[in-house]
Structure 1
Amino acid sequence: MRIAIATAAALLLAASAHAQPQPIPLKCGKGSTQTDMNLCADQAYRQSDKHLNEAYRSVIDRLKDDSTKTTQLQAAQKAWLFFRDAECAFSSGGATGGSIYPMVLSQCLDKLTQARTKELRGYLKCEEGDTSCPVPGKQ
């Protein structure tokens, strides 16, 4: 009997390991639960982070022939990430421990990430001869 139970349990575990997780439908907007709002805020932040990474890669591509500027951008981006995370940890501190905390944190991360993306994209639009812009124009 024990062997039958152990075999059945092993089969159930194996079947669940192969099951594909189903996406959770989000109810973003009026009448959402706090959990839904937390997930929606996280989803918005993740989308902004994706855009940030695309902009960053575009700037890195433009700097491929200048190792000094590439190193400077990498250092600036690391410092910015440290700042963003520290700032959002501080600014969302009033909600720590509450069910709203994940949403408040994600909203902060999203806002600062969008601002940084705008800065990086601005570097890609520099006018020829603009000495205040570290990124060369598209060739």
Structure 2
Amino acid sequence: MKFSGTFFTVILGAAAMIPMTDVHADDACYNKAQSQSAMTECSVNDLKPVDDELNKLYKEMETRLKGDDDTKKALIDAQKKWVAFRDAECTLSTIRTAGGSINPMNFNICATDLTSKRIDDFKSYLNCSKEAGADQDDDCAIPAAN
């Protein structure tokens, strides 16, 4: 059986869109988008509130670490390395579209997903003392809120 190049382009294009359905928050934006640049803008709009939430939680952790310079340094170091990891991971996971117009959207979708997971990590740090059996002094890197 012989298939035309158009057939494969359609199939590959459809396959590239499948992961989007699980990641982005505003389906209406993507449904209205009439171009790749518009879909990329949707992905930017998805990433921004997630990034804002991460920054808010990070600042809360920094505030709780006032006077604990060693832990604050460790937090800063971990976050810088996490950002580098996120960017490298998203570059790797989108390598097949590098140089294409879809790549920025794919990268943003990846960054949104990984940032959402980091938010979960931060929430765990911030709620550590509330978890059953956690000894604040031994098990929690971030002190409880006062």
Residues in 1 aligned to 2:65 and 2:32: alpha-carbon distance in whole angstroms:
47
- Residue number in structure 1 paired with 2:135: 129
Cα offset for 1:31? Answer: 4.5
TM-score by length of 1: 0.75
Q: How many residues align?
A: 113
Counterpart of 1:95 in structure 2 is 97
Q: Percent identity?
A: 35
The RMSD of aligned alpha carbons is 1.4
1:53-111 per-position Cα deviation (integer Å, ceiling 9, x unaligned): 10100001011121110000001001101101111111111111222111100001111
**Deviation sequence 1:27-53 (CA, Å, 0-9, x none):** 613252222111010111122111111
2:86 match: 84
Aligned to 2:114: 112
Unaligned ranges ≥5, structure 1: 1-26
Instruction: Give the aligned partner of residue 22 of structure 1.
Output: none
Give 2:38's aligned residue.
36
Aligned to 2:22: none
Give the alignment of 1:60-79 within 5 angstroms. 60-79=62-81
| Higher normalized helix content (fraction of residues) | 2
Work out the CA distance in 2 between the residues paired with 1:120 and 1:65: 20
Secondary structure of the structure 1 residue equivalent to 2:139: coil
Letter in 1 for 2:31: K
Letter matched to residue 106 of structure 2? V
